[in-house]
Structure 1
């Protein structure tokens, strides 16, 4: 069994490295988007919202690393950190879903997309609704992560699982539905563009970007949601050493894998900004 002190150091270093890389990547993306704000399209608005979600997530990663090394005390500040963590993670998921739907509609119905005059306003409204929805859900279920339900600052007690409604929202609405939408939209986009004769370099870039985004989404967010379900249904006896069981280790690693998405989103930024600066 993995030594818990070694595993804590490993997690601390992993989150520290992720913070450094994520901070550099997202700072560069944020600067690039702001620099070309006069030429923003509806796609830029969605992408900027993704940058904001990822950047806010990254800013709190040093505390996650510190907790791995030294263990933060269980206070209401931990509740705040947990909700910041999940709000920004699900903001990223929902924004990625909105971007996938937007790309599909533009490619599937190009004439109608060109005639729509309020695309920027619609994009801004979608992003605003995403944030309002997530904050509302967190306020409604704020007691679910109060200090008395926490085992450590970032972890719940094993014998105090989330309510079925909360788990259902997280796994079905927070992951499964976005996954189905993203896979459908991405597959349709790839299929439509692949059938085009003499496909241009721009369209090849779109296919590459869509494929990469879909793969990254599946790889980053599938493990943690599997971990949520396993952790929820497999309640072990209280006399087990919770911090040393494989299930616990898997969930901690899966959370880090999900966090790496804040760096992989740069794939979308690269393709979009490349078109602008080329």
Structure 2
């Protein structure tokens, strides 16, 4: 049974663990605002799902967060942003939604060689929204889009030092090394969880960009309630015990509990 939050919160959802990188940045920038995160791990990853499925899950998760008091929702998933944020804004036009998208424009601004790599899920790269970002912001820069099937699955498994994960990262980064990119966008919120391994595979000379800071800044700008009390609630549609272990070990939030959710 859903319980109403004591005060308005920022709702955050992702297909799984990746959005925790956004949650971490929101907590850092807005410690005085309650946060409510839900990971749809029972249906992860979204990157190889159909657009209709992604949209349906995004609508259901957003409804769940609102029922618990969310007054702003962060779509902490690049794939869900690409395929569902327009539908979310149409369904709830008075509710602020903040999406996560590969920052093509800032990457073009900082790339000295005008050769940019994008690591993203297959669904993000094939989406019309991503293609529109390229058309609007790439300009004369060469953008090499690298789909990363299977990477989210291995990150979700929780062993961020596994040989299989490192082998896949090396395989996925090889085309970007060959393209001699000097800037790489992590176009999925899961990927900063393995940024160290990605950097090693790409080379220390490559500048890596993520978008968590920009997303948190936008949430802060749109938040309508000011300070409303600290606190953080984390839920998952999947294995709460496994996710709690990940939260405590990887993020260092030793006292944070994770609740199961039926959505």
Query: 1 or 2, which has the higher helix percentage?
Result: 1
TM-score by length of 1: 0.24
